Amino acid sequence: MATTLCAQSSTPWTPPETDSTAIQNGPCANGGGGACGIQPGSGCPNCMMGVDCQNCCGSESRWQDMRPMQFAPYGPGGYAGPPRTAHLAQYRLRPGDQVRLLYLVTRRQGGGSYRLTPGDEVLIESLQDPDLVRGTLDRGLQIQPDGTLTLRLLGEVQAAGLTVRQLREQLEELYREYYEEPSIDVTPVRTNTLAEDIRSAVAGQGGFNQQNLDLVVMPDGNLRLPGLGAVCVQGFTLSQLKREINLRYSRIVVGLEVEPILTGQAPHVVHVLGQVANPSRIQIDTPTTVLGMIAAAGGHLPGGNMRQVVIFRRAQDWRLISTMLDLRGAVLGKRPTPADEIWVQDGDVIIVPEKPIQVFDNWVQQVFTDGLYGIIPVDLVTDAIINN
């Protein structure tokens, strides 16, 4: 019986017996009695032998490491496979991703008192002098773009940034110069106009319903949003994007909520070159390995050197990194869990080079078949050499 050392300890690890006795009495992935954990007489299925890469403490498994395992848990007709874990724990935005932003004007304020903004309308009244009244309940006095109100006797008065109570107290104090008891009252007629303006910029008027804005992350990693301008979103998760956008809007407007939805990913492509049937640029939409990409390119040609498959990859800062893989054992069925069978990433370039003998054959063809000896017959060249 072969004995190997575990990759993470010095304790010898002995693979299980693979004879018929071990299969009948050995442990099974199902647990319980028998190889499959099912009691005799209950329709126990045939127990299959297989290799699991997690059973060798991180080192590469070999065919002699086979042991009984549940290889067909779905039984006859099963084809869906296990649900598996998610492709990514968190998806982070990058240039080319398509994002839909749902805008909702809620008129809710998280805390504190509402502060007036340009475009809001107020009704200003005085019990002391009816001539001081400005605006009506149908159409109030509008705060100008510079944040001021124009009032009788006072002229321009700053109103933007104040609460209704603060504006009333300010006017009361200013009018004391003209009246002993001004008795000023301020009534908000139309507020939160900036939120409506942003909503209108997104999808036009249409009631207080959510409005959609479809955007694509630009090459510089930014999104341009109404009222905010450029917002860098590259590397954000959707929850981080939501928090960032709503935080920025909360600084300038009240009661505006944005919900981002990822509607499309940027294209993920891998280039496969060299000794494959169809060298091409292949788009991927699911996790794929190097062998999977070579298969998608039509498979390797007989002259392909599967011992030295080259992978070029760009790191996060765009620097070039590369590696060389030995996949020949996997293709020949000699390595059940090849360590060199890695996942590809977007932008990878996979090159299946020629075998050394193929390189030599090409050189012979170029020199002797297509080169000098292909133009001048060999006997003439030989005669010329002898005569000289």
How high is the mean pLDDT in each 10-residue block of the chain (388 residues)? 42 44 44 47 63 79 83 71 82 94 77 80 85 84 87 87 88 86 86 76 56 90 91 94 92 85 93 94 92 94 91 91 92 89 94 75 58 56 58
Distance CA 219, CA 74 (A): 45
Q: State the Cα–Cα distance between residues 284 and 221, nearest whole angstrom.
A: 22
> What would the two tokens of residue 387 be?
């005569």
Nearest to residue 314, comparing CAs of 282, 346, 290? 346
Q: In 216-254, which positions are buried (b, 16+ CB within 10 angstroms) versus exposed (e)?
A: ebeeebbbebeebeeeebbebbbeebbebbeebbeeebb
H or E element, residue 172? helix 164-175
Nearest to 126 by CA among 145, 160, 153: 153
Between vectors from CA 384 to CA 380 and to CA 385, what angle results, nearest 5°? 120
Distance CA 376, CA 378 (A): 6
pLDDT confidence of residue 298: 94
Cα 159 to chain center, whole Å? Answer: 45
Single pTM value for the model: 0.65
Number of CB atoms found within 10 A of residue 127's CB: 11
| Domain at 121-191: CATH architecture | 2-Layer Sandwich (3.30)
CATH 3.40.1160.10 holds for 98-108+194-264:
no
* Count of residues in the chain: 388
CATH number assigned to the domain covering 269-354: 3.10.560.10
- Between strands 256-264 and 269-274, the pairing is unpaired
What ranges do the domains of the chain cover?
1-74, 98-108+194-264, 121-191, 269-354, 358-387
Edge-to-edge strand ranges of the sheet holding 256-264? 211-216, 98-105, 256-264
Cα–Cα distance measured from residue 349 to residue 363, given in angstroms and rounded to the nearest whole number: 26
Q: Could you tell me if 183 and 127 are in contact, meaning their C-beta atoms sit under 8 angstroms apart? A: yes
- Two domains, one topology: 98-108+194-264 and 121-191: yes
C-alpha 227/C-alpha 287 separation (Å) is 39
pLDDT reported for residue 19: 43
Q: In the beta sheet, which residues pair with residue 150?
A: 156
pLDDT at 360: 52
